[in-house]
Amino acid sequence: MPDATPATSPDAGDRRPLFESAVARLAPVLPLLTELGERFAARGHELALVGGPVRDAFLGRTSLDLDLTTDARPDDILAAVKGWPDAHWDIGREFGTIGLRKGTHVVEITTYRADTYDRTSRKPEVMFGDDLAADLVRRDFAVNAMAIRLPSLEFVDVHGGLDDLVARRLRTPSAPEESFADDPLRMLRAARFSAQLGFEVAPEVRAAMTERAGTLEIISAERIRDELSKLLLAPAPRAGLTLLVDTGLADVFVPELPALRLEVDEHHRHKDVYEHSLIVLEQAIDLEGPADGPPESVPGPDLVLRLAALLHDIGKPATRRFEPAGGVSFHHHELVGAKLARKRLRELRYDKETVKAVARLVELHLRFHGYGEGQWTDSAVRRYVTDAGPLLPRLHRLTRSDCTTRNVRKAQRLSRAYDDLEVRIDRLQQEEELAAVRPELNGNEIAEALGIKPGPVLGEAYTYLLSVRLDDGPIGKDAARAKLVDWWEQRGRE
């Protein structure tokens, strides 16, 4: 194994301490990387660690990925690693990628690329290259275009990626207009890295994103969805979301978000809904539980909660009304918003459970505001819990996050009211097992009491008894049966 002090390019200057720190971060995987580098060198091939793992090593982060690049073609890669990995796969062979597993480590080795793109469809014509520098220039950002040659540990940074890391800046290796023309998804990656790493995009990158925002339309919904999800799951999504809105990218795939920038009238009769939504998202993130916490703590990062927080008010633009008395209203914006959220998330190809959960949270997020000073009946509390179902822990956090008033007394009053509601919910759940609330007669007992067979009518009877259970709480089978018979008789007379 070579000395763990990397060789550096001539312009490295005073960056050597950074190099040494990065190599120290890679120490757990250096033996593996060195062994692979020696195997390729023995066959006359180059090999380098590239991209995210190099960037993260300089940032003091541990990367789960080990991405390597080489001048070897796929068949030569397989020959070089023959007998070395515990397993390998070649489903990416067409694009020059061979995957390996060695112990707990997963490695992807990809042949140098010199792709050209069909700029109307974002489908690359795969062309293999022979030069590391040419491979690096086709990467998305300079901070991801750094490499460490193996086994020599020579640091290669032909595009100033390390300077960008130090400056916390995102630039493209080639002209941003050309880079984004090759792959418009890179514009979303800029927003995602802004959120994940806290980096600022360079002015020329921002300008190119604004100019080419419309070209995002050629990217599949699934790829856009994945980038949006990664952005929202970042520690601080605001910066990335703001970049998407300010450059016009959000208009292409989630226009409901920039639409929240409602023009505030001269009397300031309502708050800035867009800014409010970002604050609600940040407050919801603060209320997430630890990643290893129990389900009821909503372990973070939680995509459903974050999507609901971001989209909870998207029904407001369509429902805004200025009232004659001088106020402004958004009647039923939660219902309109739930429909809009459902439609948008479906178009982005989110899975059915995520779509259903987010839409339901948007629909329910205003329910608490009818609680007032705690005058809800136990029946109303039961319905709140039953309607939320397993989403109740998320609904708690979304509702609390939605209280963004600057009026300290009002904020304290709302907080105390929700504290009271949660206490009542806990008490009722302990007394009545609300999480599993159901009628006190099962289907067979209902059919026997009414002398009917399974079918739609039995479903109506079941729904009626469920409403009795929610309104009256546990009343016992005999009382439930009596109410059912009365309902049946009344139904027959109508």
Domains of the chain, start order: 1-167 (3.30.460.10), 168-252 (1.10.110.30), 254-436 (1.10.3210), 443-493 (no CATH)
Helices 392-401 and 352-364: angle between axes, nearest 10 degrees? 50
User: What does the pLDDT look like over 35-74, one tens digit per residue?
Assistant: 999 999 999 999 999 999 999 999 988 777 899 999 999 9
User: What does the pLDDT look like over 175-184, one tens digit per residue?
Assistant: 999 999 989 9
Long-range contacts for 431-436 (Cβ within 8 Å, ≥24 apart)? 432/382, 432/473, 432/474, 434/382, 434/385, 434/386, 435/385
User: What does the pLDDT look like over 238-262, one tens digit per residue?
Assistant: 999 999 999 999 999 999 999 998 7
Residue 6 reports pLDDT greater than 60: no
Question: What integer pLDDT is reported at residue 428 of this predicted model?
Answer: 84
Residue 378 reports pLDDT greater than 90: no
User: What does the pLDDT look like over 287-321, one tens digit per residue?
Assistant: 999 999 999 999 999 999 999 999 999 999 988 88
Compute how many other C-beta atoms are within 10 angstroms of the C-beta atom of residue 277.
23
